[in-house]
Amino acid sequence: MAATIASPTVEPFSPDFMSLEELAARMGISVSLAYQLARADKLPVPAVRPGRRFLFSRKAYERLLDTQHDDVA
């Protein structure tokens, strides 16, 4: 699946990234399941790890949705 990327330069409230909680809500899964999948590197969006937090690129998530939409159409 997607790789985990270590990066200490991500701003805590950057509009370019979403939290694991936000990603879980958008994907319709529980936060605990999202943490399990993130730790196992099994989420479809790469994680950025500034410290112990998981952050996810909004652009990568939008590309995932566009790709899935194109596959259905």
Residues 17-70: pLDDT tens digits?
Answer: 999 999 999 999 999 999 999 999 999 999 999 888 999 999 999 999 888 766
Q: What's this model's pTM, rounded to 2 decimal places?
A: 0.73
Q: What whole-number distance in Å separates Cα of residue 12 and Cα of residue 21? A: 14
What does the pLDDT read at residue 8? 45
Give the C-alpha separation, 8 to 3, whole Å. Answer: 16
**Do the beta carbons of residue 19 and residue 52 sit within 8 Å?**
no
Cross-sheet strand order for the sheet of 17-19: 4-6, 47-49, 55-57, 17-19
CB atoms within 10 A of CB 38: 20
